[in-house]
Chains A and B, each alone.
Chain A
């Protein structure tokens, strides 16, 4: 079976202000693959996800990122999202005054429009969100509240998962998706994530701990330290890391 590359990152260097954070990062993710990037705190894991999504404040100094063969770095944040990139955030942003349903409807219709699909009317939309929300343990009351305002850590992650479910991205980045989750919430979120694994969609799981990878089992595991991948392997590498820690990969300062 020939594999089609979805995301191709080559020799990427990126900095925030004057500080170089990503120093020669290479990674290719093919359709249907789930990759985990694990690394110690401060390795620049979040910078990686932000650079892929196009968050302002990061400067790519050299290297390239291609998505479905297109130069990703030339696209705006929203274009990347519409092309199918979804960032499940470590710290979802609160938006007071904007009901979650309103926010979701704008997002879903923006993406549908891009895919030349008809926009959903309110009835169709509410029905879809209710059904998908139910599977994630999100009740109708929660999505009437302003986006993430007053949500617990678990509720925020459920909402991130709901967004991922309704936007149907072909590539999802889970950035420390398990932080702040108790074991029950972790199961629910993982089930939501796994439901999207259909052999076509790809994922990049960025995590500090191995815990999440028990539920979202990766095809590949990479150790990320000091701005680049220092070791790659299969899911067993994650277990190894859990046991030995990152010490051997972190340079003595």
Chain B
């Protein structure tokens, strides 16, 4: 068995319905286990590292420990430098990554890893910020306008706020990591936007991982409820600092309930360390005329999977699920979608584009299900990938299940390489070959990134896409 199932103490074990839910998750995961090559839904993405037995669960007082550990053991006490932790000095024995070049200009006088909690990550737009470090909530709450509530999931459990939806939107069967997440349900937030309230700026959820040499395992469970007519935007940002070699595992489940005529824009940047495992599942349930729009850029992790399941349960609900991935090395980045059209005149559209280099593998599995009642619906899906090396690979599995007449459905997939004639044209104007490639890659991703409605978020994602992923 895997090291992912351990006996740890969780908050609120005395709450019967919560504990019953966790037990159900645990039983389900025990039954399903870590997916293997035989698991159909995971046949292209093989999370082998998740069979390791050295995963570490952080205790709730980890912040104190982290600080104590580093201030005492670390030999690299330098202060007042501008390196913002980016200067990596190799193997001085402190467990942090250093090198002696000190290109940051600190002359070796920097304090790179003092582990003071610095939550200023340079977010280039105004947002209601929610911070997690290593999957643990940092208790700083943004000042919110009327009609918006953000509390921790466990607070929500205590006052029974979350009881109506928690565990009812997410599915366990066929989703082993949702089951695992349910077994450890504790960290995460509950967001509620009241009826007809329109949020003026995005909520930003940041999980910053600084795992050191440990293979941390963290679960995040978020419940997001938009009441009828509400409008909100959420940005999820998964990032890391310091040691990159940890095979840490971040396992996220979002349950999203969209009331009638509500609008929810859901953006995400997955920029985990290059050996990390990142599995995220968003379950979305939409009432009549509700609009869900999502965009996810994946550029980090060794195994990264962003999976979205949308259920359009009532008439005229619509979903737009877009994504991009940029990768090199040996990574596998997976985008899996499942859109269920369960009512008439529901609409969905998907555009996923990837850029794959090195020995990396891009995976897209997209399913559109149209129920017998769901007449006059439309579901469109397109996946495109740019292969930059001979050993890069993409695996695409589109599935259409149509049980109704009078529907419009399409799917398409294309892959290609950079156009040598275009590269020559740019080079003949003095543009270096690598720079020319980057210009073409940016142009390739332009149309999918331009689908991000929020301009500030769009520019932020665009610049993230232009930064080379870690090799």
Contacts and interface: CB of A to CB of B under 8 A. Distances in A.
B439 interface: yes
A98 B439 contact: yes
22 contacts: A55-B424, A55-B428, A56-B424, A78-B433, A80-B428, A81-B427, A86-B428, A87-B428, A89-B428, A93-B422, A93-B424, A95-B422, A95-B426, A95-B443, A97-B446, A97-B447, A98-B439, A98-B440, A103-B431, A107-B429, A163-B429, A167-B430
A82 interface: yes
A239 interface: no
A55 B426 CA distance: 12
Given A89-B425, A95-B425, A97-B447, A111 B439 contact: no
A95 B429 CA distance: 14
Contacts of B440: 95, 97-98
Nearest to B446: A97
Interface string A167-192: 10000000000000000000000000
A96 B440 CA distance: 9
Interface string A68-103: 000000001110111000110100110111100011
Given A77-B424, A78-B431, 9 more contacts: A78-B432, A78-B433, A93-B424, A95-B426, A97-B442, A98-B443, A103-B426, A106-B426, A107-B431
Interface in B178-220: none
B27 to A, nearest CB: 50
A60 interface: no
B443 A77 contact: no
B175 interface: no
Interface in A110-142: 110-111, 114
Interface string A44-76: 000000000101100000000000000000001
A95 B424 CA distance: 11
Contact of B427 (A77, A95, A98, A111): A77
B443 A110 contact: no
A97 B419 CA distance: 13
Given A55-B424, A56-B420, A106-B435, A81 B429 contact: yes
Contacts of B422: 93, 95
Contacts of B137: none
A56 B443 CA distance: 23
Contacts of A96: 443
B425 A110 contact: no
Contact of B430 (A93, A97, A102, A114): A114
B444 interface: yes
Interface size class of A (residues with CB under 8 A): 20 to 34
B146 interface: no
B428 A81 contact: yes
Interface in B438-464: 439-440, 442-444, 446-447
Contacts of B424: 55-56, 77, 93
A37 to B, nearest CB: 19
Contacts of B429: 81, 86, 103, 107, 110-111, 163, 167
A111 B435 CA distance: 13
Closest 10 CB pairs between A and B?
Answer: A97-B443, A107-B429, A81-B430, A77-B427, A93-B425, A110-B430, A111-B430, A78-B427, A98-B443, A82-B430
Nearest to A53: B428
Given A77-B428, A93-B422, A97-B447, A103 B433 contact: no
A160 to B, nearest CB: 10
A78 B429 CA distance: 7
A85 to B, nearest CB: 8
Nearest to B443: A97
A159 to B, nearest CB: 11
B427 A76 contact: yes
A57 B114 CA distance: 55
Nearest to B429: A107
A81 B432 CA distance: 10
Contacts of B446: 97
Contacts of B447: 97
Interface in B393-448: 419-422, 424-433, 435, 439-440, 442-444, 446-447
Given A55-B424, A77-B424, A93-B422, A107 B430 contact: yes
Contacts of A82: 430
Contact of B439 (A53, A87, A102, A163): A102
